[in-house]
């Protein structure tokens, strides 16, 4: 296989001792547009948070470009779910995009003109430059999403990890994002996108991970889109697994023998 | 008015201390409180205010004197312990954060009161100053206090200025801050520490109960005046300082009046005033906007009526009587009178004797509105495939808000049409 952008190895994550991700184990190639697909509550957001080191993992590890996150932070960029922040915060579009230029190395320092130029360029790429002075709560949902993506672009990373960028956006934004993806692909960037809509997944992505608490399948989209696998990911509940999950919680059982 | 002059001249050093002291307190609490407000941690300020009491008492018991520095050190330590406990309780148990705050707050405050009572009964002469941590006593601020307050105030300002952009990001989107590798734990620690410091100082003017108001109220008012964090902090701090000034003034001219509660009263008036009168976001300007919209709709409808009457009779310049105008559309008499008056003022209509007619610029405006109405009807009909008899009501509303840009887009998209779905002519400016 080609270069590996992201590897998760036996990743398990629990909330209040209830596992919401079990043994997720995959390797994703670089330079592709990759969809992580699964129904609501299947653990997609949790998986991204685990990759980005935002939730504690009970077991397993994550490698990005074959290294630990801390060694490659500058090469990874994260776009959180749009609803995860309060858009009534007193900030302009430019303020938010500039946040993509903050580093631990420029702590205490003012934002430079170069950073501002990079931020403006990122806004241009998502077609939002003329909104740069706008208060962020005066944007539509699609525009807010584009601002978040611009902030991430301003980081100048190689790997982009986005949580549901297509939720609640207008057709224009959807098109803008898709165009951006193919441009990024041309530049050799890797884009990993959480998505819950099966209908559009096949058109959007080159490579797909099917997730439902555990990893159902991962591979090029032609291999993944077959009845059996989709049924496994979307059809019915994973009864045994969720029952065992409940048990683990009730009995306060360690998820791994240490 | 003599006492006002006396107060304003600052000739009495005590007045100086009290005024400067309360203004610093108000401003710093407001600056720090802006972040608490934006991070939705209003309750935490309250918890800290209650929790510093045992620290203050213990530090008094240990040091045996009421040196403001020692007392503040005690306050910081017990403030910190309380925050750690709140965090620990909500992390390790299933209790919600506000429950954890409630538990810690009452336990610490109870312990504080116990210690305070002990100190009072021990007959220690110096204890007189301690109860200001309970009720606040701005009038007793001394020069030493002012020195400490100014030092702390400057330190807080320096910290906020130095880490302004990081504090902004941590308040807006802490997960993102973590992901890009900022030391979020450290930044949150600093934010908590400056809050504790601001509380430890501010509490000496307004007391435990009102302290949370000193933190949060200025920010909640300032939010109405601006959409930018920097300006919001400045406005909140001004609110805090002005309220400090007003509070100490009132208690100076009426010595039986306590300073702290008046500071908070002044703050509340400023905040409520902001909610009402702030431009754009305020209730009043929202009302004004809706009045303006109503007037716009009214006058545009009257102009349209002139156009329709003229169109029917083939004579746009014909004078119209008030009665004719009133009967031909759904205007109320008062409304129509008001609308005609506004149109006359703007030279869109002219009055001659008892009749009204449309001026040249009035006609231009009237045909613009009719054009927008008919363009929109056509658009709904052609692009959204709505039946011609379903498009009128929608166009009645939309015609008033279409901007020139949208107008030219419509024209282009529909290829500059001349006839609307009801077979009426679409008027264009003749030039
Ligand atoms: N902070 C949390 N505490 C407890 N349970 C959580 C938390 N976040 C998510 N969950 C649970 O974990 C499961 C997976 O959630 P999530 O990763 O958000 O799924 P998805 O993004 O696929 O919709 C859900 O059952 C959800 O209720
Ligand atoms: Mg999700």
As for how many domains chain A has, the answer is 1
Nearest CB partner across the interface for B229, out of A91, A104, A110: A91
- Helix, strand or coil, per DSSP, at residue A34: strand
Tokens 């209040």 sit at which residue? A16
pLDDT of residue A244: 60
Q: Is residue A79 part of a domain?
A: yes
Sign for the pseudo-dihedral over CA of B224, B227, B228, B231: negative
CB contacts of B166 in chain A (<8 Å) are 102, 107
Residue B354 is part of which domain span?
285-358
Ligand 1 atom 5, closest CA: A15
Residues of chain B with pLDDT under 50: none
CATH of the domain at B36: 1.10.3470.10
Is the Cβ pair B94, A16 closer than 8 Å? yes
Is the Cβ pair B38, A96 closer than 8 Å? no
pLDDT tens string A180-206: 999 999 999 999 999 988 888 889 999
Size of interface A-B (CB pairs under 8 A): 81
Show Cβ contacts of residue A12 under 8 Å, excluding neighbours closer than 6 positions: A19, A21, A22, A23, A24, A57, A58, A59, A60, A255, A256
Is the Cβ pair B176, A135 closer than 8 Å? no
Ligand located closest to A49 CA: 1
B112 and B75 fall within a common domain: yes
Residue A248: is its pLDDT beyond 70?
A: no
pLDDT of residue B170: 97
Ligand located closest to A41 CA: 1
Q: Is residue B376 part of a domain?
A: no
Mean pLDDT within A19-29: 93
Tell me the C-alpha to C-alpha distance, in Å, between residue B421 and each of B369, B373, B389, B395, B409: 16, 11, 9, 12, 19
Between A25 and A248, name the one with better pLDDT: A25
CATH of the domain at A141: 3.40.50.300
Q: Is residue A53 part of a domain?
A: yes
Nearest CB partner across the interface for B175, out of A84, A100, A103: A84
Tell me the C-alpha to C-alpha distance, in Å, between residue B157 and each of B10, B161, B231, B235: 26, 6, 14, 14
Domain boundary among B341, B358, B375: B358
The residue among B250, B257, B266, B235 whose CA lies nearest residue B19 is B250
B274 and B302 fall within a common domain: no
Q: Please count the other Cβ atoms lying within 10 Å of the Cβ belonging to residue B189.
A: 13
pTM, whole model, 2 decimals?
Answer: 0.84
Closest ligand 1 atom to residue A81 Cα is 21
Show Cβ contacts of residue B320 under 8 Å, excluding neighbours closer than 6 positions: B306, B309, B355, B356, B357
Sign for the pseudo-dihedral over CA of B102, B108, B114, B116: negative
Mean pLDDT within A18-34: 94
Q: Do the Cβ atoms of B257 and B250 come closer than 8 Å?
A: yes
CB contacts of A110 in chain B (<8 Å) are 165
Q: How confident is the model at residue A92 (pLDDT cuts 50, 70, 90)?
A: very high
- In residues, how long is chain A? 258
B303 and B268 fall within a common domain: no
Any chain A CB within 8 A of the CB of B281?
no
Is the Cβ pair A108, B163 closer than 8 Å? yes
Distance of CA B277 to the CA centre of its chain: 10
Tokens 């509490």 sit at which residue? B203
B151 and B97 fall within a common domain: yes
Tokens of A6: 């992201």
Strands (E), A58-155: 59-64, 76-79
pLDDT of residue B156: 96
What residues are in contact with ligand 1 under a 6 Å CB criterion? A 15-16, 20, 38, 40-46
d(CA B82, CA B93): 16
Residue A96: is its pLDDT beyond 90?
A: yes
As for how many domains chain B has, the answer is 2
Show Cβ contacts of residue B393 under 8 Å, excluding neighbours closer than 6 positions: none
Q: Is residue B428 part of a domain?
A: no
Q: Is residue A88 part of a domain?
A: yes
Mean pLDDT within A17-29: 92
Residue A61 is part of which domain span?
4-225
B321 and B219 fall within a common domain: no
Tell me the C-alpha to C-alpha distance, in Å, between residue A211 and each of A10, A220, A226: 14, 15, 15
pLDDT of residue A236: 54
CB contacts of B227 in chain A (<8 Å) are 90-92, 135
Tell me the C-alpha to C-alpha distance, in Å, between residue B275 and each of A136, B219, B286: 20, 12, 11
Q: Do the Cβ atoms of B168 and A90 come closer than 8 Å?
A: no
CB contacts of B94 in chain A (<8 Å) are 16
Ligand located closest to A47 CA: 1
Tokens of B236: 């909140």
B234 and B189 fall within a common domain: yes
pLDDT tens string A144-192: 999 999 999 999 999 999 999 999 888 889 999 999 999 999 999 999 9
Nearest CB partner across the interface for A91, out of B94, B172, B181: B172
Q: Is residue A257 part of a domain?
A: no
Is the Cβ pair B181, A54 closer than 8 Å? no
pLDDT of residue A258: 43
Question: CA A142, A147, A148: angle at the middle one, nearest 5?
Answer: 100
Q: Mean pLDDT lowest for which of A111-120, A222-231, B88-97, B420-429? A: A222-231
Domain boundary among B248, B278, B308: B278
B265 and B305 fall within a common domain: no
Residues of B (180-209) whose Cβ lies below 8 Å from A: 180-183
Any chain A CB within 8 A of the CB of B110?
no
Ligand 1 atom 17, closest CA: A43
CB contacts of B181 in chain A (<8 Å) are 70, 73-74, 103-104
Q: Do the Cβ atoms of B232 and B43 come closer than 8 Å?
A: no
Q: Is residue B90 part of a domain?
A: yes
B157 and B291 fall within a common domain: no
Burial zone of B13 (CB within 10 Å; 0-12 exposed, 13-18 middle, 19+ buried): exposed
Ligand 1 atom 4, closest CA: A15
pLDDT tens string B40-57: 998 999 999 999 999 999
């Amino acid at each position: 296989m080609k270069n590996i952008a992201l590897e998760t190895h036996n990743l398990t994550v629990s909330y209040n001792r209830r596992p919401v991700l079990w043994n997720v184990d995959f390797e994703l190639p670089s330079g592709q547009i990759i969809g992580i697909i699964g129904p609501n509550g299947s653990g997609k957001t949790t998986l991204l948070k685990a990759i980005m080191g935002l939730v504690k993992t009970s077991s397993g590890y994550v490698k990005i470009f074959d290294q630990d996150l801390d060694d490659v932070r500058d090469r990874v960029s994260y776009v959180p779910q749009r609803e995860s922040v309060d858009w009534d915060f007193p900030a302009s579009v430019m303020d938010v995009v500039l946040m993509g230029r903050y580093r631990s190395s420029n702590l205490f320092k003012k934002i430079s003109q170069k950073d501002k130029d990079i931020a403006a360029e990122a806004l241009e790429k998502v077609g939002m430059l003329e909104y740069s002075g706008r208060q962020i709560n005066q944007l539509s949902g699609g525009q807010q999403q584009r601002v978040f993506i611009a902030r991430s672009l301003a980081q100048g990373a190689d790997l982009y990890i986005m949580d549901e960028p297509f939720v609640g956006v207008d057709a224009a934004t959807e098109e803008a994002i898709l165009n951006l993806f193919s441009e990024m692909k041309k530049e050799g960037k890797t884009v990993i996108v959480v998505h819950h809509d099966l209908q559009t997944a096949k058109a959007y992505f080159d490579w797909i991970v099917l997730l439902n608490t555990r990893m159902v399948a991962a591979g090029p989209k032609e291999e993944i889109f077959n009845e059996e696998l989709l049924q496994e990911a979307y059809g019915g509940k994973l009864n045994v697994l969720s029952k065992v999950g409940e048990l683990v919680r009730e009995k306060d059982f360690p998820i791994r023998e240490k | 008015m003599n006492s006002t002059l006396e107060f304003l001249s600052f000739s009495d050093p005590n007045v100086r201390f009290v005024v400067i002291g309360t203004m610093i307190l108000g401003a710093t609490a407001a600056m720090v409180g802006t972040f608490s407000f934006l991070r939705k941690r209003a309750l935490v300020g309250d918890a800290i205010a209650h929790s510093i009491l045992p620290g203050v008492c213990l530090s008094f018991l240990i040091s045996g004197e009421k040196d403001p520095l020692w007392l503040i050190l005690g306050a910081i330590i017990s403030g910190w312990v309380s925050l750690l406990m709140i965090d620990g309780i909500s992390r390790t148990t299933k209790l919600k954060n506000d429950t954890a705050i409630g538990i810690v707050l009452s336990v610490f405050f109870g312990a504080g009161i116990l210690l305070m009572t002990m100190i009072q009964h021990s007959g220690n002469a110096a204890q007189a100053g301690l109860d200001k941590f309970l009720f606040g006593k701005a009038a007793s601020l001394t020069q030493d206090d002012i020195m400490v307050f100014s030092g702390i105030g400057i330190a807080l300002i320096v910290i906020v200025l130095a880490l302004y952009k990081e504090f902004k990001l941590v308040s807006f989107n802490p997960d993102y801050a973590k992901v890009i590798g900022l030391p979020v734990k450290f930044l949150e620690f600093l934010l908590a520490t400056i809050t504790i410091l601001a509380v430890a100082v501010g509490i000496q003017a307004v007391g435990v109960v009102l302290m949370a108001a000193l933190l949060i109220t200025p920010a909640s008012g300032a939010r109405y005046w601006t959409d930018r964090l920097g300006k919001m902090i400045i406005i909140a701090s001004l609110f805090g300082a002005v309220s400090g000034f007003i509070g100490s003034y009132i208690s100076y001219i009426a010595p039986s009046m306590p300073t702290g509660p008046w500071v908070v009263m002044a703050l509340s008036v400023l905040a409520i005033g902001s909610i009402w009168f702030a431009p754009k976001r305020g209730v009043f300007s929202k009302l004004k906007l809706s009045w303006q919209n109503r007037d716009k709709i009214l006058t545009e409808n009257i102009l349209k009526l002139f156009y329709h009457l003229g169109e029917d009779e083939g004579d746009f310049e014909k004078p119209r009587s008030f009665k004719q105008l009133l009967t031909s559309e759904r205007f109320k008499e008062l409304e129509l009178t008001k609308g005609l008056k506004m149109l006359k003022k703007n030279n869109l209509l002219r009055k001659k004797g008892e009749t009204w007619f449309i001026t040249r610029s009035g006609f231009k405006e009237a045909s613009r509105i009719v054009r927008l109405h008919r363009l929109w009807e056509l658009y709904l009909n052609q692009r959204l495939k709505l039946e011609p008899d379903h498009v009128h009501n929608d166009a009645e509303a939309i015609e008033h808000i279409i901007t020139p840009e949208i107008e030219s887009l419509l024209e282009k998209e529909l290829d500059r049409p001349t006839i609307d779905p009801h077979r009426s002519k679409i008027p264009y400016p003749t030039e």
